[in-house]
Structure 1
């Protein structure tokens, strides 16, 4: 095909056509002065949206959490889910698990995992400027994560109340710390690859990684603080009764005081990936994706979106919240907290539709869609046939957006932009659970099914 340049005549035609339609001039006058997305807001959808639900978890956690300027949504969503049965059991009015505690250990474990991946890829003969190593070096340590990574952290390091390990500046704004870590990890990558090219033994590589990780530990410890080895947690319950737990290790705190009411090993992650290359009823993983060496691998059980929605609703009906991953920014009215395919009328303003011109599968294939955010479902409404029509969503962006921090999501939005849910295995049919016994098909490291962890 001959390259198609834009001639002056063509550009003049575009200009004439634009100004020939008065609606374009009106839209231009408005959108050059305010946020175009606000102009696209469909007022009728705002009028018809109400935060009232058929089934709602009774004891939603308080306070609404806030991840601030960090990518820790997966940690916040996970701890928000764990919190609900915990506060019910211990009769608490307000409570938070320490997000900073898991963030500390994820940084340590993730850096070690990265360095081991560098050795593994070098042993596989991957070139430093090849696509895989280039992808790994693009963002050597990030804030994002997946459910299986939470399981690894909790089973290895336990949990602590936020009062016992509060937030730090770099927890709430991680960019500066991450910049230091990324620089060092790229430097360490060169050192390790040079050693391998010189024929270094495994024992020498292990020794070098340990030296490098000692520096990483120091950097992270300076920025985040170092978690205590034991904690003592004092609190008042709703009856104003004094209670004291400890001294106890963080791992024992989870095993003795949390696990009986929320066992992370009882939960399973189901995804929906409709791309024709990735069949339903199959297990998948992503190359080089994880956070703990020797820990639980990231496994995706691929199922139709209708099953994910059905199991999420069943879980909520029995008072169990649901962790999920989605692409939060599409068709999302942020201030109002509404995720609805009809909440923005792009065609009215621009004369074209946006995003929905492709199928969910095509959006994944062409880079238009990916998992970007994790949150939790805490309520659902159903129609006369029992089909879900809308969900209540607990977010981690503070209480100024939506309904005091809660969002509302329609079932149609769920089908288009939700990609995974975590539910208790007791809700999952046996044939679906059996998929976890398969040897996972390995997707490339840059696959969109892995983006929530980046």
Structure 2
């Protein structure tokens, strides 16, 4: 039974608010300074000083600027960390994020077309078609998606394929590209539902991809097929490596077996039992490439695996919900840094599972773990390399409290050698496929 809010109720609410202790002071503070500044707990900042017992030297942070490429930056940074000292690369050396950006946009267009073709028999009002058309493509991605790109296209130094205006500020590119993809969806659905042959549909899609390639080439630059790599190392010695391809550069200078790196998640919801694997329908970028696959584990196991990899001297790609309980200026992610419950005398608490199930939280950002503070063998806080430049946080680095990791961290990428046998076996099982809109399909 529906019931409107009465004036009598409003009067009661007004009276209740007015008679609470400190109402006038709190109102003045919040209306002047905002919620988070008024609720900030300085002691939480003091308790999370950026000192760590394990602290990897990873150099200067990168800057994704006005783009959503954090997952690319984090992945390429983990690779750069490992090879920087080996080849004595100068501190400003970076792998080209624009190069992987180009191929991700191109492959996502093809991925979208294929999904539009598969769902052409469904009404526009179906949830899956609506999901596809809501955001045909975006900047975000998952670990397995960057793996699929690198395995197909390799990588190049940023000096060979530098940033473009549209990669550093991607809003116009995404708006234009999504316009084209939606227009092409109209054409493909009309062809299929009008009785076109598969040959006619394929021919139309190939013409669309040709236009996509031309658009990206004119916007981001023509990606290199072969190149020379020239640099001075951190000891000022000159190097010239000629006639490289993106694949041969990766093999020579990175050389990771990407099949050895797997996605570990912590999603404590009833529909995802621990120690089992999960994929997500319609989530990916490269048709025929590596599928997105997650192994769900308890949070203590999740942390133990990250500590093992850090202890071995290797940084860790990880994904979080970057919104709640964060202080950008201080470079802090810590539960209790904002105490809104105390400020307003309202209980805002939800469990991690409840936040996932009810749409309050999901993975929104990827970064790199580069350190951890262990006290009596247990983590108290973690060092985080962000990709927002060196003006934010502690020269671009953040401190994450261990409690915050438990609540808002969802994914780490771990090398198989650090997994116990039972988890390797669990990872190798056939995954349960989740719905396209499942929170574990969120793109960082």
TM range, smaller chain: over 0.9
Instruction: Return closer, same or farther for 1:65/1:452 CA change in 2, 3 Å cut-off.
Output: same
Give, in whole Å, the separation in 1 of the partners of 2:194 and 2:425: 45
Give, in whole Å, the separation in 1 of the partners of 2:375 and 2:58: 23
Give, in whole Å, the separation in 2 of the partners of 1:61 and 1:157: 26
Give, in whole Å, the separation in 2 of the partners of 1:205 and 1:258: 40
Out of 351, 357, 363, the residue aligned to residue 371 of structure 1 is 363
Residue 290 of structure 1: CA displacement?
0.3
Give, in whole Å, the separation in 2 of the partners of 1:246 and 1:28: 66
Give, in whole Å, the separation in 1 of the partners of 2:3 and 2:356: 28
* Residues 56 and 317, structure 1, Cα contact 8 Å, conserved in 2: no
Corresponding residue for residue 64 of structure 2: 67
Corresponding residue for residue 15 of structure 1: 14
Equivalent residue runs for 1:189-200 within 5 Å: 189-200=185-196
1:162 aligns to what SS in structure 2? Answer: coil
Gaps of 5+ in 1: none
> Is 2:383 the counterpart of 1:399?
no
1:389 aligns to what SS in structure 2? Answer: strand
> Is 2:230 the counterpart of 1:231?
no
> Is 2:283 the counterpart of 1:289?
yes
Give, in whole Å, the separation in 2 of the partners of 1:206 and 1:212: 10
Give, in whole Å, the separation in 1 of the partners of 2:381 and 2:320: 15
Give, in whole Å, the separation in 2 of the partners of 1:48 and 1:273: 27
Deviations 1:130-183 (A, max 9, x none): 111101100001000000001011111111111111111110111111111111
Residue 126 of structure 1: CA displacement?
2.5
> Is 2:2 the counterpart of 1:3?
yes
Corresponding residue for residue 413 of structure 2: 422
Out of 108, 111, 114, the residue aligned to residue 113 of structure 1 is 111
> Is 2:313 the counterpart of 1:319?
yes
2:166 aligns to what SS in structure 1? Answer: helix
Corresponding residue for residue 86 of structure 1: 83
Residue 332 of structure 1: CA displacement?
0.9
* Residues 266 and 299, structure 2, Cα contact 8 Å, conserved in 1: yes
Give, in whole Å, the separation in 1 of the partners of 2:368 and 2:336: 22
Residue 263 of structure 1: CA displacement?
3.0
Runs of 4+ in structure 1 over 6 Å off: none
* Residues 61 and 80, structure 1, Cα contact 8 Å, conserved in 2: no
* Residues 48 and 381, structure 2, Cα contact 8 Å, conserved in 1: no
Give, in whole Å, the separation in 2 of the partners of 1:231 and 1:187: 36
1:89 aligns to what SS in structure 2? Answer: coil
TM-score by length of 2: 0.97
* Residues 147 and 290, structure 2, Cα contact 8 Å, conserved in 1: yes
Deviations 1:383-439 (A, max 9, x none): 21x121111000001111211110011111111111110011100112111123222
1:204 aligns to what SS in structure 2? Answer: helix
* Residues 282 and 440, structure 1, Cα contact 8 Å, conserved in 2: yes
Give, in whole Å, the separation in 2 of the partners of 1:55 and 1:445: 38
Equivalent residue runs for 1:177-192 within 5 Å: 177-192=173-188
* Residues 108 and 285, structure 2, Cα contact 8 Å, conserved in 1: yes
Gaps of 5+ in 2: none
Give, in whole Å, the separation in 2 of the partners of 1:198 and 1:436: 43
Corresponding residue for residue 334 of structure 1: 328
Residue 22 of structure 1: CA displacement?
4.5
* Residues 102 and 220, structure 2, Cα contact 8 Å, conserved in 1: yes
* Residues 325 and 452, structure 1, Cα contact 8 Å, conserved in 2: no
Residue 49 of structure 1: CA displacement?
2.1
* Residues 61 and 83, structure 1, Cα contact 8 Å, conserved in 2: no
RMSD: 1.2
Corresponding residue for residue 100 of structure 2: 102
> Is 2:352 the counterpart of 1:360?
yes
2:102 aligns to what SS in structure 1? Answer: helix
Give, in whole Å, the separation in 2 of the partners of 1:15 and 1:222: 59
Give, in whole Å, the separation in 1 of the partners of 2:369 and 2:218: 35
Corresponding residue for residue 203 of structure 2: 207
